[in-house]
Amino acid sequence: MRQVPAKLAAKLYGAAELIAERGIGDAKIDEIAEAAGIPRATLYYYFTGKDEILAFLLHDMLDLVAGEVGTAVAGTGTARDRLKAVVGAQLSVMLENPAVCRALVGELGRASRLPDLAKALQMAFHEPVERLLEEGVEDGTLRKLDNPFAAALSVFGAVTVAGLTHAVAGLSSDPATVANEVCDVILGGLQTET
Amino acid sequence: MRQVPAKLAAKLYGAAELIAERGIGDAKIDEIAEAAGIPRATLYYYFTGKDEILAFLLHDMLDLVAGEVGTAVAGTGTARDRLKAVVGAQLSVMLENPAVCRALVGELGRASRLPDLAKALQMAFHEPVERLLEEGVEDGTLRKLDNPFAAALSVFGAVTVAGLTHAVAGLSSDPATVANEVCDVILGGLQTET
DNA sequence: GCCTATGCTGTACTGCAAGTACAAACTAGC
DNA sequence: GCTAGTTTGTACTTGCAGTACAGCATAGGC
């Protein structure tokens, strides 16, 4: 895969909706080319095929998530506050790029075939959250859990599915509201005081 | 789609691994036929194409989930206990059918294109959980939340992603352990007492 | 035991879309 | 205006999904 010029990358996003809607398998390369406003031959000049186009889009978005999440983690405040910020950051990116985000989830099941993608996801979200959980134990704002790895997984799931559902259904698309709803559950828990 | 005989359905599960691994788009119909031990022509006798084969497998598993979850919801005990049972039920089915489960998630992004699938998922998990949350408020074992719909979504996400990750990675595949980890987070929450 | 309806399977064919090849046109730096 | 790299149009090859259909198997009625 050649170095993709920024101008071309921007145009590619014009095809994200199509890919998300029909899946990479059912979207014809000619349609992608047309939707993006890029000649077919040019696509093949930069990418070896459809899959690589998809991989490029996904990677691009994950970089975005990783950046925002990184900023949130590095911010000031308690670990709990920063965890909230992380959730908000991920949801912001997701809801601002609903099409790419849908495409991403559509390929999640193939994660084992796309080790790069799985790793990028890990770096972008999972690892920072796990670290925050540890810091929260230290500063006393988060509860100590038996299995922080599993906890980070659950947090990731809750955030991702919430984001995806809103992205697909186009529900109340305010990231802040969604973030609050998710945080309410994962921070406060569902049960009454024991 | 013709009525599929049980014997044939059972054989089809032999191809689930292949489909999950390569995605329905990249799995050739001849390979599916071979993996399942069913002649190609017979597949086309029962199904109109690849997509229908996938849809059949997914629907089959969702029925399974719906059944188990239904049993768990209808059981005895507090709403909180039954919520735990629901989580356990979903994880059991997922970890017993990791391949189909991966295939399902691989097609989640297309949910908007497969309204049947989205609806089945809704019925199988989301709706029962939302109901349990209400009952929990009544019997005092679960906290009253601003937005039970969003909460059910988060629960679904946490459970599904945990199940999927274990299914894909083949981690500690004991459903009960995974269920405990997930429940610990979603019931108890992450934050310390305020 | 035969006959008929329906289920099942092998084989040959069609059509579509992915990907390739390549030459012509364009652009930028020198 | 020469050269190296980029961009695009067009024509071609190939592989797979899906179709058509004929022949074989099986079961149930008589």
pLDDT tier, A119 (very low <50, low <70, confident <90, very high otherwise): confident
B67 CB below 7 A from strand C atoms:
no
With beta carbons under 8 A apart, name residues in chain B contacting A80: 190-191
Assigned domain for B171 exists: yes
Å from A121 (CA) to D4 (C1')? 39
Note which residues in 74-113 of chain A have CB less than 8 A from chain B.
Answer: 80, 83, 102-113
More confident residue, B109 or A82: A82
DSSP A15: G
In terms of CA atoms, which chain B residue is nearest residue A18? B110
**B103 with A109: Cβ contact below 8 A:** yes
Q: Residue B115 pLDDT more than 80?
A: no
Find how far residue B128's CA is from the centre of its chain: 14
Assigned domain for A94 exists: yes
State chain A's maximal CA–CA distance in angstroms: 65
- Angle made by CA atoms A93, A98, A101, in degrees to the nearest 5: 75
B38 CB below 7 A from strand C atoms:
yes
The verdict on A133 touching B (C-beta cutoff 8 Å) is: yes
For A142, phi then psi, to 5°, come to: -125, 150
More confident residue, B31 or A101: B31
Average pLDDT, chain A: 88
Beta-carbon count within 10 A of B139 CB:
12
**B133 with A159: Cβ contact below 8 A:** no
Å from B37 (CA) to C10 (C1')? 15
Assigned domain for A81 exists: yes
In a 3-state reduction of DSSP, which class is residue A106? helix
Note which residues in 11-50 of chain B have CB less than 8 A from chain A.
Answer: 20-26
Which amino acid would we find at residue A151?
A: A
Q: Residue A160 pLDDT more than 80?
A: yes
- Which are the contacts of B80, defined by CB distance < 8 A and separation ≥ 6? A190, A191, B136, B141, B142, B187
What is the per-residue pLDDT for A45? 97
Could you tell me if A155 and A183 are in contact, meaning their C-beta atoms sit under 8 angstroms apart?
no
pLDDT tier, B111 (very low <50, low <70, confident <90, very high otherwise): low
> What average pLDDT does range B48-65 have in this prediction?
90
Assigned domain for B164 exists: yes
What is the domain count for chain A?
Answer: 1
Closest CA to B108 of A54, A102, A119, A160: A102
Assigned domain for B5 exists: no
Average pLDDT, chain B: 88
Q: Residue A18 pLDDT more than 70?
A: yes
> What average pLDDT does range B31-48 have in this prediction?
97
For A147, phi then psi, to 5°, come to: -135, 90
Comparing CB atoms, the residue among A104, A164, A192 nearest residue B141 is A192
> What average pLDDT does range A62-73 have in this prediction?
91
Assigned domain for A10 exists: no
With beta carbons under 8 A apart, name residues in chain B contacting A140: 192
Closest CA to A144 of A192, A90, A95, A79: A79
- Domain holding B166, by residue range, is 57-188
Cross-strand bridge partners of residue B191: A142
The residue to which tokens 């709990």 are assigned: A80
- Angle made by CA atoms B20, B165, A52, in degrees to the nearest 5: 55
Of A31-35, A119-123, A149-153, which range is least confident? A119-123
- What CATH number corresponds to the domain at position A102? 1.10.357.10
Assigned domain for B31 exists: no
Q: How far is CA A27 from CA A20, A32, A124, B100, in A?
A: 9, 7, 28, 24
With beta carbons under 8 A apart, name residues in chain B contacting A189: 143, 185-190
DSSP A75: S
Q: How far is the C-alpha of B99 from the C-alpha of A144, rounded, in Å?
A: 33
With beta carbons under 8 A apart, name residues in chain B contacting A165: 153
Beta-carbon count within 10 A of B133 CB:
21
Residues at the strand D interface (Cβ < 7 Å): A 2, 5, 8, 38-42, 45-46; B 27-30, 40-41, 44, 48-51
Q: How far is CA A29 from CA A7, A35, A126, A184, B22, in A?
A: 19, 10, 33, 43, 20
In terms of CA atoms, which chain A residue is nearest residue B22? A110
Could you tell me if A79 and A142 are in contact, meaning their C-beta atoms sit under 8 angstroms apart?
yes
Q: How far is the C-alpha of B153 from the C-alpha of B127, rounded, in Å?
A: 10
What is the per-residue pLDDT for B98? 87
Assigned domain for B165 exists: yes
